[in-house]
Structure 1
Amino acid sequence: MSVEDLKAERESDKELVALDYNDIDRDVFGNEDGHDIRYKTLSWQLVAVLMIAEIVSNGMLSLPQSLAIVGIVPGLILIIFLGAFATFTSYLLIQFKLNHPEVHNMGDAGYILLGPVGREVLGLGTIIFAICGVGSVTLTGQLALASLSDSKLCLMLYAGIFAIPILLLSFPRTLDRLSWLSIPSVISILVAGLVGMIGSGVNPVPGRTLSATVSTDFFDAFVAITNPVFAYAGHFMFFILISEMKRPQDAMKAAYVLQGFATTFYAVFAIVVYAYIGETVASPSFSSLPPKWQKAAYAIAIPNFIIAGSLYAHTAAKVLFIRLFRNSEHLHSHTLIGWATWTGLIVIVNACSFILSIAVPIFSLLIGVAATLFASWYTYGIAGAFWLHDAWHIGGWKRLKERWIWTALSILTFLAGAFICVAGTYVICKLIVDAYASGSVGHPFSC
């Protein structure tokens, strides 16, 4: 995009505004009239459902433990602050997408910021994080199936059983097919959360200890911080979701619904479960419930875990597919090469996540490494860089000075992402070292 194009589309000096998104020549999917496969079919309501299904999933089950580590007051403030922060960065990401219709994923955005190196780093990070996301829900699904069957089978078999529906449901080429499946997914995690809260309420832990605040060191405190950070870590999919909207200009409506629902649900769930279970609450918190309530909560949540895993697998495959076939007939037509490639990518992505989840004993901690390295930037830090980039190309230093509040907020956003990345990586790496030192690390492919 040239500086002249940005200047021509600027409305006023009040704020950075989006370009005309009807620029078909620059849109990642172009003009879809007459094509066999049409991608731009999503309404903002369905995008909101997809966002909730992807983000409000197994990550919320660690939030009560965060309150146990730092106390109710700091934990609740953290959940609400990160929700508000995620809403702000959602706005920055969406404005950048509207300014650059050619952006389909973080790799494309990286190319605009840093050229070929940025494209490869952010694109690869998206794929790695998505694969780890599939592995994460596979492990949670493994626990759910083990709970439901009283651990009668090897855990590795449970992971294999759970991986099958994730594989099958990630095959649709367009997100509109997955969006309708996301509706029962959202209902399932909402009901499962309610069951978890009711189960903890009718079975409070005797002699439990509750604390408004807890004095703790930096390491333990940041462990508590990483849980809500990861619970909001879904922005890496936003560009992909918006690219398949009929009206990308409505994307912020979906983001408001997502963050409003997620922040409210997270706060209520974390407080209620912690209040009745206390400092001994486990992660995932459903595992702290009595057996019958644990089974009920896990059983109801399984559809959400499956759909979330399918969305992650779809995302990793879609990034590679668009990279291979952008502007080609294989993107919009039912060609043998197109479908064979898509099928191969889906199988490879799901196979990689499954193998990693059962072959790497510390995979749950490696998920944390991937999250701190990439999600800290995708959800928070890099949004500031996007705003600074476009503001600079509109008016250089003059524009940055005129919009000094936005400039300051964007710089602080970038620094916040850097802090979460560095501190989070240190914490996770220390957890890995401690796990090996304590002998708690298991063996590959073990039950």
Structure 2
Amino acid sequence: MADYLPEKKEEKVFDAEAQDSDNDSTTYVINALVLEDHGHDIKLRTMTWQRAAWLLCGDQVCLAIMAQSWSLSVLGWVPGIITMVVAAILFYITSMTMHKFIMKYPQIKDICDFGYYAFGKSRIAYEFTAIMLLLNNIMLIGFHILTGAKILNTLSDHSLCTVIFSVIVTLMGIVMSLPRTLNHVSFMSMFSAACMALAILLFMIFAGTEDAPLYGYNGEYPTAGLVKTYAFPLEGTTWVAAMNAVLNITFLWVPQILFPTFISEMEKPQDFPKSLAVLTGVSAFLFIVPPAIGFRYLGQYATAPAFGSLSSTVHKKASFAFVIVPTLVIGVIYANVSAKFVYGRIMGKSRHAHSNTIVGWGVWIAVMACIWAVGFIFAEVIPSMGDFLSLLGAAFDSFFGFIFFAVAYYQTYRGQLFSGLPRTVKSVFHLFVLLCGLFLLGPGLYAAIEAIMADYAGSVKPAFSCANVAI
């Protein structure tokens, strides 16, 4: 077995019933892993559950929140809020399933290890998950580079070529990504979450005090009539538009691709449910209340992000400016998780992997620079990052938010899936989780591809364009 796959000697696992009744085996393995880690120069397993909560919030409290008012404008109040609430419930329960499975295999370091064990210690599953991890994360880094360029364009009134702004964001991202541990990155996450919360607060104030929005995708105000809200989708809403709105909500609620790495750097991974509870509470409020307020005041003129619908340029700049911090920090989080995987494949078990050596740091910096460079290329050559994110949501989130955890649940309780009413209810629920994943992978993927084809049928943004992308 290759060095980068989980080690056989660490497979001190136990069955689900033993885990439910006695955590001694888990504690023993975790303590051994922490002890081994703390013997290295670079110590990874150092995060408290409070720091992990900040890291989770820094990752989740993001610009995508400001696209949810648009989702509500497509779906209407009833389907939109139902989708948000169901996504929240699915997120919490599947995340708990993921944590329970990782406690069965505490040596899991990332989502690739998770896939390896969930699919019966399959090397094919490991490699397949690795490809999806890198594609997902690096394309998201590209999205954040593009978003950073959009912010700088907006604030400077397009004072420079957009490619130059993208280069600036990329270089800033590389420098900010140099810390090796997520414990250090969690410091940045505190400021990231605070800045995004401030941007959201300012947006709500401005949206509520302005006389009318500036424009929507159907034209400038009042081309599409006076601002209105509605319980169900407006007449003429296509299935593809509705499905993309659902994917937009789903994408926001599915960050679990990063969670195994976060858990692996906690000093007490048993405490992750505390961090998750904090994140779920914060997310449930921010993912529903501000978008609902935005839809109330913007109605059918809501755009993604909703800042673009504000009528005052000053208001738009004042609120959008704070988004530069979470844009960079979230890119750093995805880069850190991606770089750790690539770095581990390169360095294996050599002393450079966990030591402060010139070779070790040189390889880390080179890997990080390459990841951001590839992200920069994605940002420049893809015509519509928004539609490609819907593609990501359908192709990857279907696995990392649903299918993986339904399979992990089956592996955890295999042979006991219907042993009693509570277990039967949970098993049926995870069957529903599996069906949700398959639905996203089928009709959801179709809708995303249709949207991309529509992009290419119209005017396509040329690669490495200097065009103004300000909101």
Name the TM-score, length of structure 2 as normaliser. 0.88
Who is 1:141 aligned against? 148
Shift of 1:175: 0.7
- Which residue type is aligned with residue 347 of structure 1? A
Say if 1:94 and 1:251, in contact at 8 Å, map to a contact too.
yes
More displaced 10-residue stretch of structure 1: 324-333 or 263-272: 324-333
More displaced 10-residue stretch of structure 1: 18-27 or 232-241: 18-27
Structure 1 pair 155–12 and aligned structure 2 pair: CA distance change class (3 A): closer
- From 337, 352, 356, the equivalent of 1:334 is 356
- From 385, 405, 424, the equivalent of 2:425 is 405
Whole-Å Cα distance in 1 between the matches of residues 429 and 162 of structure 2? Answer: 46
1:10 aligns with 2:18: yes
Who is 1:163 aligned against? 170
- Which residue type is aligned with residue 269 of structure 1? P
- Which residue type is aligned with residue 10 of structure 1? A
Whole-Å Cα distance in 2 between the matches of residues 19 and 197 of structure 1? Answer: 49
- Which residue type is aligned with residue 20 of structure 1? T
Who is 2:390 aligned against? 368
1:209 aligns with 2:228: yes
- From 436, 443, 446, the equivalent of 1:426 is 446
1:314 aligns with 2:327: no
Q: How does 1:345-384 map to 2 (within 5 A)?
A: 345-384=367-406
Who is 1:194 aligned against? 201
Shift of 1:381: 2.6
Say if 2:42 and 2:355, in contact at 8 Å, map to a contact too.
yes
Who is 1:298 aligned against? 320
Shift of 1:113: 2.9
Say if 1:58 and 1:137, in contact at 8 Å, map to a contact too.
no
Say if 1:61 and 1:284, in contact at 8 Å, map to a contact too.
yes
Who is 2:435 aligned against? 415
Whole-Å Cα distance in 1 between the matches of residues 364 and 72 of structure 2? Answer: 43
Shift of 1:428: 1.1
Say if 1:108 and 1:123, in contact at 8 Å, map to a contact too.
no
- Which residue type is aligned with residue 231 of structure 2? A
Structure 1 pair 79–7 and aligned structure 2 pair: CA distance change class (3 A): closer
1:239-279 Cα deviation digits (max 9, x unpaired): 00000001100101111111111111111111111111110
Partner SS, residue 26 of structure 2? coil
Say if 1:17 and 1:95, in contact at 8 Å, map to a contact too.
no
Shift of 1:286: 0.9
Shift of 1:35: 2.0
Say if 1:18 and 1:99, in contact at 8 Å, map to a contact too.
no
1:14-54 Cα deviation digits (max 9, x unpaired): xx979514315974x76123321100110111111111111
Unmatched tracts of structure 1, length 5 or more: none
Structure 1 pair 101–146 and aligned structure 2 pair: CA distance change class (3 A): same
Structure 1 pair 8–77 and aligned structure 2 pair: CA distance change class (3 A): closer
Q: How does 1:227-306 map to 2 (within 5 A)?
A: 227-289=248-310, 290-306=312-328
Shift of 1:177: 1.0
Who is 2:180 aligned against? 173
Identity, in percent, stands at 27
- Which residue type is aligned with residue 222 of structure 1? M
- Which residue type is aligned with residue 228 of structure 2? T
Who is 2:84 aligned against? 79
Who is 1:65 aligned against? 70
Say if 2:11 and 2:107, in contact at 8 Å, map to a contact too.
no
Who is 1:440 aligned against? 459
Structure 1 pair 49–24 and aligned structure 2 pair: CA distance change class (3 A): closer
1:154 aligns with 2:156: no
Whole-Å Cα distance in 2 between the matches of residues 361 and 388 of structure 1? Answer: 40
Partner SS, residue 260 of structure 1? helix
- Which residue type is aligned with residue 128 of structure 1? L
Who is 2:219 aligned against? none
Shift of 1:103: 0.9
Whole-Å Cα distance in 1 between the matches of residues 269 and 30 of structure 2? Answer: 13
More displaced 10-residue stretch of structure 1: 329-338 or 85-94: 329-338
- From 64, 86, 111, the equivalent of 1:106 is 111
Whole-Å Cα distance in 1 between the matches of residues 418 and 159 of structure 2? Answer: 62
Residues matched between the structures, number? 439
Say if 1:47 and 1:254, in contact at 8 Å, map to a contact too.
yes
Structure 1 pair 76–111 and aligned structure 2 pair: CA distance change class (3 A): same
Whole-Å Cα distance in 2 between the matches of residues 288 and 131 of structure 1? Answer: 29
Say if 2:149 and 2:166, in contact at 8 Å, map to a contact too.
yes
Structure 1 pair 12–214 and aligned structure 2 pair: CA distance change class (3 A): closer
Unmatched tracts of structure 2, length 5 or more: 1-7, 213-221, 467-471
Q: Which runs of 4+ in 1 moved over 3 A?
A: 1-5, 16-19, 24-27, 323-328, 398-402
Structure 1 pair 261–414 and aligned structure 2 pair: CA distance change class (3 A): same
Whole-Å Cα distance in 2 between the matches of residues 57 and 418 of structure 1? Answer: 27
1:356-389 Cα deviation digits (max 9, x unpaired): 1012324443232223211222122311111111
Structure 1 pair 4–243 and aligned structure 2 pair: CA distance change class (3 A): closer
Say if 2:15 and 2:104, in contact at 8 Å, map to a contact too.
no
Partner SS, residue 10 of structure 1? helix
Say if 1:87 and 1:259, in contact at 8 Å, map to a contact too.
yes
Say if 1:21 and 1:248, in contact at 8 Å, map to a contact too.
no
Whole-Å Cα distance in 2 between the matches of residues 73 and 55 of structure 1? Answer: 24
Whole-Å Cα distance in 1 between the matches of residues 19 and 453 of structure 2? Answer: 54
Say if 2:19 and 2:104, in contact at 8 Å, map to a contact too.
no
Name the TM-score, length of structure 1 as normaliser. 0.92
Whole-Å Cα distance in 1 between the matches of residues 298 and 149 of structure 2? Answer: 23
Say if 1:18 and 1:98, in contact at 8 Å, map to a contact too.
no
Shift of 1:401: 4.1
